[in-house]
Amino acid sequence: MSSKPFYSFNTTSTSINYAWPEGLSGMERVALSCQGNLQSVLSAFFARPIQIVPIYTRTQMRRSSSVEDEPLEAPTTQDLENASQSRPITQTRQVILQCSEKTVCTATSTVSITSTQAAHLFLVDKFPIGQMFRKLDCTPSFELLEVGFGVVESKTEAQSYEQVWRKYRLSVQGFDAEILEVFPSREMFSDGERWLRSTSEGGMAPRQAMKMRRSRFPALIMVMATLLAVLWFIVGGQGVFEGRGFNSLWSV
């Protein structure tokens, strides 16, 4: 792995340093390079608002170094004030980003909160992760951990390459987030508006729908061959067994 920072600059140049997988498009690299501003980048790309829809949230707090983390359903003012390195509040949650009611990203995150201000903004005011850093007025440190195609953590060679995903970490003092983002289709980045409008095959993009139809073709051929064989037996084969030729059946 390169020892260079992901983002570097000087007075004359700026560079993104990462060993990208082969085949990524420019727009895919832009999205995968976002540092807490994916929502605004996707909004600019589609020229439409991006909504955040919560799927699940699990919050815990360590009230003492000698006990395990406890579920935290509704944090009290005291809980927020106690958020610290020794008493962190952690939250695992999943949200989907939608554009025109279509999912453009599924984000699963684990957040560690160790400051009162961050706890209030995140747990009470309900700011999403990407907007937390603006509210805290801090530029987060960013680490792109992994980028891949297909199903995340798939161990098989025959995996789908329709999706693209990334794992990364954003952190400032008092707030740290490790995030997995999965983009549902690479066609989203190549086709843009056309992909967003597509509703064929239950909402699949056109090329995905074509692949689905092609995958069904061999099975359809087998079914047709079986039906023809059964028909031959009923109409022609039965006549053979009775000592008549196939053509003689038509003269009966």
- pLDDT tens digits, one per residue of 138-147: 989 999 999 9
Q: Does 249 fall in a domain?
A: no
Tell me the C-alpha distance between 166 and 40, whole Å: 18
Q: What does the block give as tokens for 166?
A: 């990334």
pLDDT for 82 equals 93
Do 22 and 87 share a structural domain? yes
The parent domain of residue 125 ranges over 7-197
CA 227 to chain centre: 42
Is the same domain home to 129 and 105?
Answer: yes
User: With a cut of 70, which residues of the chain have pLDDT below it?
Assistant: 1-4, 66, 153-161, 199-220, 230, 232, 235-252
Judge whether 247 lies within some domain: no
Inter-CA distances, 203 with 185, 197, 210, Å: 11, 9, 13
Residue 244: predicted pLDDT: 55
Rounded to whole angstroms, the Cα distance separating 190 from 195 reads: 8
Verify that 124 and 223 share a domain, yes or no.
no
Q: Are residues 61 and 120 in the same domain?
A: yes
My answer on whether 166 and 86 are in the same domain is yes
For the chain, count helices (H), then strands (E): 11, 9
- The dihedrals phi and psi of 53, each to the nearest 5 degrees, come to -115, 115
pLDDT at 200: 42
Q: With the CA atoms of 129, 135, 136 and 141 taken in that order, what torsion angle do they form, in degrees rounded to the nearest 10?
A: 40
pLDDT at 176: 96
Tally of domains within the chain: 2
Q: Are residues 227 and 168 in the same domain?
A: no
